[in-house]
Amino acid sequence: MHRRAFLEQAGAGLLAGLWPALAQTQGERPNIVLIYADDLGYGDVSCYGARRIKTPNIDRLAASGIRFVHAHSPAATCTPSRYALLTGEYAWRRKGTGVLPGDAALIIEPGRPTLPGVLKRQGYATGVVGKWHLGLGSGNVNWNAEIKPGPLEIGFDYAFIMPATGDRVPCVYVENHRVVNLDPNDPIEVSYEKPFPGEPTGRTHPHLLRMHPSHGHDMAIVNGISRIGYMRGGKKALWKDEEMADVFTEKAIQFIEKHRSGPFFLYFATHDIHVPRVPHPRFAGKSGMGPRGDAILQLDSCVGRILETLDKHGLTRNTLVIFTSDNGPVVDDGYKDEAVEKLGDHKPWGPWRGGKYSIFEAGTRVPFLVRWPARIERRMDSPALISQIDLFHTLAFLTGGKLEDEAAPDSFNLISALLGRDPQGRPHLVEQAGTLSVIVGRWKYVAPSKGPKINKNVNIELGNDPEPQLYDLETDPGERNNVAAQFPDKVAELAALLEQIRRSPRTRP
């Protein structure tokens, strides 16, 4: 939707006053459910243009809320996006915030301000269910004892998580501080350096696999699938991939039901549609697009169950639901699951260029839907530039919380944009992949960088180039025409802005 059309739809009166101060009484603060999908592309859901696959439950959010078309994850990979989401700080400011191994230490230090922490101070019950991938403990985790610090030490009251990703060991659930269903007589050992003697791996025992790797992913075998990293022990605690979506969704529902008197904040970080894609048998084969498409159907069903739970308990009207993804899409991300062969004319990246790992738009421009019937009365599209990093400041303001000076250094209060009153959003945005880019208005500048232009394993353009790149996203949304040579002054201006942001400890006003 063009900005002029948006202004007409939103109404001049609404924009003139922006968002008035919200009453902060207990009954008027919304419950908050943040559904954070994994590797879901802009074009992977039908409300953003998918035709070969239907996502009616995700579409339901769009039909009664706001569909953002210029919303971004903070980075083109998972760990830095999740770090920025919960801390309000660009991950590239901190060392050690890249994609983590499964035995990494917690990278959000206890005591620092966090999104769940500020909401907890405002009286919210806070819970995280699903993928974590921000590290646990202080290093050399003993998976057979109390595991901390973790989510509970940075603001969550309850946690039911996988430590890292579905394709990384340890392949167990952790509830609060302990591995679920662990038999003390069968202790867990984890290594990312060398295999355990006598333990089969995907590399040495491929005949034991029911899903084979396309690249990497040939170490420990769990549930007939080889992973990244080595593991032994903990047999009773191992997850079953095809049950994971149901397990996580049920835990999320239990959290909502336990705290339905409110207010509550649920961070529901799904595993879908990350690899390995092993959907439950009731979804397997249903999409016609292989396990990747089936996993999208499964994800949509999980969203539906959450929405049904809100309906069942009369929570829908005053619950703010946000649905988005941690980065852009990838098709073959390490397993031979027919995702490439059965893709057909489906375009997970939508109209954008690139995908996961890429500095081009498809790396971070993701679905972003907002529904809150008490405040958002009708469906609309928003062109506002917004980032998940802004949820920290925005939700703190919404719930009456105050930020310390050092809190959320790169998070903007975009409550007016979040609720459809402001079509502009943030003044600028830094995107992170192998290099950095900055968006201001119609212009996107990509900083020069070395490195490969294509990740050959996943067949995605990374956007690395030793020369500066400048794109006019208004006339060239696919980023096909580098106009840096035609607009040297604009290149200089945006390069200077990016350098200023890099040098500054914060961008938050």
Please report the DSSP string for 250-266 in residue order. HHHHHHHHHTTTS-EEE
Q: Is the dihedral of CA 489, 494, 498, 500 positive or negative?
A: positive
Determine contact, residues 62/47, Cβ cutoff 8 Å. yes
Q: Which residues contact 136 (CB under 8 A, 6 or more apart)?
A: 104, 105, 106, 147, 148, 149, 150, 163, 174
Provide the pLDDT for residue 74: 98
CATH 3.30.1120.10 for domain 429-503, yes or no, is: yes
Provide the pLDDT for residue 6: 44
Please report the DSSP string for 414-457 in residue order. -HHHHTTS-SSB-S-EEEESSSEEEEETTEEEE----S-SEETT
Query: What does DSSP say about strands 319-325 and 31-37: parallel, antiparallel, or unpaired?
Result: parallel
Homologous superfamily, domain 32-179+248-418: Alkaline Phosphatase, subunit A (3.40.720.10)
Domain ranges of the chain: 32-179+248-418, 429-503
CA atoms within 13 A on the CB side of 265: 24
Q: How far apart are CA 74 and CA 82, in angstroms?
A: 8
Determine contact, residues 14/299, Cβ cutoff 8 Å. no
Query: What does DSSP say about strands 174-175 and 178-179: parallel, antiparallel, or unpaired?
Result: antiparallel
Determine contact, residues 279/332, Cβ cutoff 8 Å. no
Q: How far apart are CA 364 and CA 82, in angstroms?
A: 13
Provide the pLDDT for residue 27: 44
The residues pairing with 322 across neighbouring beta strands, listed in sequence order, are: 34, 370
pTM, to two decimals: 0.95
Provide the pLDDT for residue 11: 39
Q: Which residues contact 280 (CB under 8 A, 6 or more apart)?
A: 242, 243, 245, 246, 298
The tens-digit pLDDT sequence of the chain (509 residues) is: 444 444 434 433 333 333 344 434 334 799 999 999 999 999 999 999 999 999 999 999 999 999 999 999 999 999 999 999 999 999 999 999 999 999 999 999 999 999 999 999 999 999 999 999 999 999 889 999 999 999 999 999 999 999 999 999 999 999 999 999 999 999 999 999 999 999 999 999 999 999 999 999 999 999 999 999 999 999 999 999 999 999 999 999 999 999 999 899 999 999 999 999 999 999 999 999 999 999 999 999 999 999 999 999 999 999 999 999 999 999 999 999 999 999 999 999 999 999 999 999 999 999 999 999 999 988 999 999 999 999 999 999 999 999 999 999 999 999 999 999 999 999 999 999 999 999 999 999 999 999 999 999 999 999 999 999 999 999 999 999 999 999 999 999 999 999 999 999 999 99
